[in-house]
Amino acid sequence: MWLPLDPPGGMDPGDGPAHLIRLVSRHRVVIVGGGFGGLYAAKALRKAPVELTLVDRRNFHLFQPLLYQVATGGLSPGEIASPLRAVLSRQRNAEVLLAEVVDFDVSGRQVILKDGAVPYDDLIVAAGATDYYFGHDEWAPLAPGLKTVEDATEIRGRVLEAFERAEREPDAARRQAWLTFVIVGGGATGVELAGALGEIANDTLRHDFRHIDPSESRILLVEGEDRVLPSFPADLSRKAARQLEDLKVTLRLSARVTAIDSESVTIQNHSRDSERLPARTVLWAAGVRASSLGQKLAERTGAPLDRAGRVMVAPDLSLSGHAEIHVIGDLAGFTHQGGKPLPGVAPVAMQQGRYVANLIRRKLRGGSVGPFHYFNKGNLATVGRNRAVADFGVIHVAGFPAWFLWVFVHLMYIVEFENRLLIFVEWVYNYVTRNRGARLITGDERR
Amino acid sequence: MWLPLDPPGGMDPGDGPAHLIRLVSRHRVVIVGGGFGGLYAAKALRKAPVELTLVDRRNFHLFQPLLYQVATGGLSPGEIASPLRAVLSRQRNAEVLLAEVVDFDVSGRQVILKDGAVPYDDLIVAAGATDYYFGHDEWAPLAPGLKTVEDATEIRGRVLEAFERAEREPDAARRQAWLTFVIVGGGATGVELAGALGEIANDTLRHDFRHIDPSESRILLVEGEDRVLPSFPADLSRKAARQLEDLKVTLRLSARVTAIDSESVTIQNHSRDSERLPARTVLWAAGVRASSLGQKLAERTGAPLDRAGRVMVAPDLSLSGHAEIHVIGDLAGFTHQGGKPLPGVAPVAMQQGRYVANLIRRKLRGGSVGPFHYFNKGNLATVGRNRAVADFGVIHVAGFPAWFLWVFVHLMYIVEFENRLLIFVEWVYNYVTRNRGARLITGDERR
């Protein structure tokens, strides 16, 4: 156990004698991961008689739905991240532990850290997902995905640098390669990235260069299915496709990428014809895979994994034979009666976090809860300024109303965290001025 | 010459035929460096009949006076940086070149890039300054300075990580070493950093930890002179010292650092007694040295350098024997009749930039200008929220009025660039809420 039992000299008297709380041995809940799932579970346990530890290897919660805005220079990392300690600062029963979880001792009931261990009575694993290259891990450095703030600033740097290189390139063919951007994957993230790149090329950078015309960029969106946003109804996919084409994004549907190198990408169409396309910037939005901690959980508990590495959970999100272990969010493989697995989106993680928190609260009072049910309030995807699609079951919305809804819903969620007002102001400002002021190429190599 | 003479295919028709402008051979002005000096020179040449190229290795202008806010989590890098292309986007006679200058061919009149060359008729060198460790370059990784956005995010990460490590450290002595922050140098930057650290320890992080009390941090400011802010009048130094002490910053005056390693710093006082102090975080704000491009200029033109590596310039900021080469800002060594060299602050660089722009405009019309005179509007230094000092010659101001002035003046300057309104809103927001939301530990190693 990494925590000293002696009260350290530097203890904040305002927090009360934490070692005493420890000695009266409350019910210990450990949450692995400070994403939407973990954080909503923690907040929902605010008034529960538990001693809560939230473990994350990063010191901030990331509002991932807006990460593409950082990758395209619209927002700064600090504007979509909230320090975990700040979020839980006033929650007396919670502490944050900045550490890396490497394994689980399920019989001893402790989480194994890289440098220590934390005991638990109830464990909530919300470790999320990471990019997956379908066995082509060598593509990772060539086609960065969009999962971390470092990914986002890396993509931002690559995109901006491509325009800079094009500006200085006298050879027309090479210049075109620098001005060709390929986004692999036509789901929500790929569509957002492609739309934002379209706006950058056609609008943001319009007057910025003297030797190139950024609007002559080629932006390709490659999707394996025969439509973008395959998880949406077909009519909304068509509308999103039209919105993308307005932004001069070229769609390559029923197509897949078979090779990537530093100068080109090879795209195979549905009739298996291959084309090698000179392109200097390739972005990955095609596949995710559950955190490798899912594998560890499977090894330690015998829980099955699905093809995407998600841990298959019981109807109450626990593991069979381990009612004290709960898996939520992108790491959890959960299917409503025979349906498809729930998608890896924030609302699922948030509802699961709240559900498990409620389950633990009930359990402590000797009660129980029914199985988890996901309440789908609707699906939204944005393409760019004034462009989006929204699916509310029978009602389908596209264009400005959908975009307005998208902004509203995202601001609502941000309300839960710190930066609400500011990000709203920034948004209005960027909307009115068409500003993308955070267009920085940063990073050590470029210093 | 790196520029292709043929019009590239991708030329923006809205910008007019740039290759024709090139063929009628306007007067070519090259500016090296997009800091305050270079950018103000570029803007002041807006209507001049010149063909302007601004060369910088970074794609953004950095509002350096607020860099300490990034280092302490108050602002995000994107909020104090403006893309150079955006700033000069609408200035028809200007282009931005993202490239690294490595030398000067003064007889051939061209700037030598790492990968090319740019010819000039008039050259303005505004390459700035970098940290200087007084011959102890081995201290650089141990005690980062505050010159780039990467420096700032590195410092931010180190400071936050120190609190995290302290939180998990059971040994009291080691914990204290993590909670000890040493800032070397009591000029404006050192005072700003020390004050901001004082606020972080005493206020921002107050409720964030469970095993340490951040307000028990030790923050030491080491200054070689017998007072902080040595360039200010003595009474304001005393007031700044008192403001720092309010924030529980310990001053070590007439003292110097003689050794730094990863676990400690050795401080020698005026009676040459040495103390080895366990400290995990050391920040450098003690010395700057002019860019190494000054050395190149000296080699190529015979211009003398002063002790800080600054290029000694004529009264009109040109080099003797090279009326077409102008050196401004932190790189220029300029003294008013026998006085001290002008300080390396933004107002000096801005005035020099405008002066040289005016000189070139006059020269093109066959006229001339008198020698450069610096008009000192006053000196400001901030210590923290509501705390600052201001020196207007006969009038000395301290406390809230000085702080308010400091905010006002900095916002005024930012007006010149993009982010004005937003940064103002952010500021008010941070002021009212005492927010420091950008407390992220980022960077590849920490991913």
For chain A, positions 127-156, list CB contacts with chain B under 8 A: 148-150
Whether residue A208 is predicted with pLDDT greater than 60 in this model: the reply is yes
- Residue whose tokens read 């220590």: A116
In a domain, B29, yes or no: yes
Which tokens go with A263?
A: 């100068």
- Residue whose tokens read 């005179």: B373
Question: Does this complex have an ipTM over 0.95?
Answer: no
For A376, other C-beta atoms within 10 Å of its C-beta total 16
Query: Can you tell me the mean pLDDT for A293-314?
Result: 96
Which tokens go with B111?
A: 């700037």
Question: Using CA of residue A86, residue A91, residue A92, residue A97, what is the dihedral sign?
Answer: negative
Query: Can you tell me the mean pLDDT for A345-362?
Result: 96
| Cα B394-B400-B405 angle, rounded to 5 deg | 60
Which residues touch A251 (CB under 8 Å, ≥6 apart)? A186, A220, A221, A223, A228, A241, A244, A245
- By C-alpha distance, which of B435, B282, B349, B343 is closest to A421? B435
DSSP state at residue B66: G
Distance CA(A331)–CA(A128), nearest Å, equals 5
In a domain, B62, yes or no: no
Q: Are the Cβ atoms of A59 and B422 closer than 8 angstroms?
A: no
Whether residue B421 is predicted with pLDDT greater than 80 in this model: the reply is no
Report residue B328 CA to chain centroid gap.
Answer: 14
What H or E segment, with its residue span, contains residue B122?
strand B122-125
Q: Are the Cβ atoms of A11 and B83 closer than 8 angstroms?
A: no
- Residue range A149-186, pLDDT digits in tens: 999 999 999 999 999 999 999 999 999 999 999 999 99
- Residue range A266-302, pLDDT digits in tens: 999 989 999 999 999 999 999 899 999 999 999 999 9
Which residues touch B225 (CB under 8 Å, ≥6 apart)? B186, B253, B254
In a domain, A416, yes or no: no
Distance CA(B179)–CA(A10), nearest Å, equals 10
Domain boundary residue, one of A256, A286, A316:
A286
Q: Are the Cβ atoms of B89 and A208 closer than 8 angstroms?
A: yes
| Catalytic residue (choose from B79, B192, B199, B426) | B192
Q: In this predicted structure, which of A69-78, B56-65, B150-159, B177-186 has the lowest mean pLDDT?
A: A69-78
Q: What is the pLDDT of residue A444?
A: 58
Distance CA(B226)–CA(B26), nearest Å, equals 54
For chain B, positions 77-116, list CB contacts with chain A under 8 A: 77-79, 81-83, 85-86, 89-90, 95-99, 116
Clarify whether residues A67 and A26 are in a common domain: yes
Query: Can you tell me the mean pLDDT for A353-364?
Result: 97
Whether residue B54 is predicted with pLDDT greater than 70 in this model: the reply is yes
Under the banding of pLDDT at 50, 70 and 90, the label for residue B437 is: confident
A-chain residues near B118 (CB < 8 A): none
Query: Can you tell me the mean pLDDT for A82-105?
Result: 94
In a domain, B200, yes or no: yes
- By C-alpha distance, which of A163, A17, A77 is closest to B70? A77
- Residue whose tokens read 């320890």: B201
In a domain, A393, yes or no: no
- By C-alpha distance, which of B69, B79, B37, B71 is closest to B56? B37
Clarify whether residues A217 and A193 are in a common domain: yes
What H or E segment, with its residue span, contains residue A182?
strand A180-184
Clarify whether residues A266 and A337 are in a common domain: no
In a domain, A178, yes or no: yes
Clarify whether residues A236 and A325 are in a common domain: no
- String of DSSP letters for B222-279: E-SSSSSSTTS-HHHHHHHHHHHHHTTEEEETT-EEEEE-SSEEEEE-TT--EEEEE-
Clarify whether residues B300 and B277 are in a common domain: no
- A160 to chain B, any CB pair closer than 8 A? The answer is yes
Whether residue B195 is predicted with pLDDT greater than 50 in this model: the reply is yes
Distance CA(A258)–CA(B373), nearest Å, equals 65
Domain boundary residue, one of A249, A269, A286:
A286
Clarify whether residues A279 and A303 are in a common domain: no
In a domain, A185, yes or no: yes
Clarify whether residues B270 and B208 are in a common domain: yes
Chain A nearest-CA residue for B8: A211
Nearest-CB residue to A86 (from B208, B210, B213): B208
Residue span of the structural domain in which A197 resides: 133-286
- String of DSSP letters for A365-428: TT------------EEEEEETTEEEEEETTEEEESHHHHHHHHHHHHHHHHTSS-HHHHHHHHH
On average, the pLDDT of chain A sits at 89
For helices A188-199 and A234-246, the axis angle rounded to 10 degrees is: 20
Clarify whether residues B347 and B232 are in a common domain: no
Which tokens go with A247?
A: 């932004």
What is the value of pTM for the model shown?
A: 0.89
Distance CA(B59)–CA(B36), nearest Å, equals 14
Distance CA(A434)–CA(A54), nearest Å, equals 39
Whether residue A427 is predicted with pLDDT greater than 90 in this model: the reply is no
Distance CA(A238)–CA(A244), nearest Å, equals 10
- By C-alpha distance, which of A78, A92, A144, A39 is closest to A413? A39
For helices B346-364 and B36-44, the axis angle rounded to 10 degrees is: 30
Which tokens go with B157?
A: 């990460």
Between B281 and B414, whose confidence is greater?
B281
Distance CA(A302)–CA(A291), nearest Å, equals 17
For A341, other C-beta atoms within 10 Å of its C-beta total 16
Let me know: does B84 contact B54? Beta carbons within 8 Å.
yes
HSE, side-chain direction, 13 A CA sphere, residue B268: 7
User: CATH no. for residue A201?
Assistant: 3.50.50.100
The catalytic residue positions of A are: 192
Clarify whether residues A282 and A237 are in a common domain: yes
Whether residue B369 is predicted with pLDDT greater than 90 in this model: the reply is yes
Query: Can you tell me the mean pLDDT for A184-209?
Result: 94
Query: Can you tell me the mean pLDDT for B117-142?
Result: 96
- A398 to chain B, any CB pair closer than 8 A? The answer is no
Clarify whether residues A185 and A49 are in a common domain: no
- Residue whose tokens read 């030398």: B103
Query: Can you tell me the mean pLDDT for B310-329?
Result: 97
Clarify whether residues A142 and A264 are in a common domain: yes
Q: In this predicted structure, which of A70-84, A163-177, B147-161, B380-394 has the lowest mean pLDDT?
A: A70-84
- Residue range B3-38, pLDDT digits in tens: 433 334 334 444 444 444 444 568 999 999 999 999
Query: Can you tell me the mean pLDDT for A335-340?
Result: 77
In a domain, A373, yes or no: no
Query: Can you tell me the mean pLDDT for B328-332?
Result: 97
User: CATH no. for residue A116?
Assistant: 3.50.50.60
Number of domain units in chain B:
2
Whether residue B206 is predicted with pLDDT greater than 60 in this model: the reply is yes
Distance CA(A330)–CA(A341), nearest Å, equals 10
Domain boundary residue, one of A286, A310, A339:
A286
Clarify whether residues A90 and A208 are in a common domain: no
- Best of A61, A85, A131 to substitute, by most chain B Cβ atoms within 10 angstroms, is A85
For chain B, positions 212-271, list CB contacts with chain A under 8 A: 212-213, 216
- Best of A211, A430, A434, A436 to substitute, by most chain B Cβ atoms within 10 angstroms, is A211
Whether residue B390 is predicted with pLDDT greater than 80 in this model: the reply is yes
Chain A nearest-CA residue for B84: A208
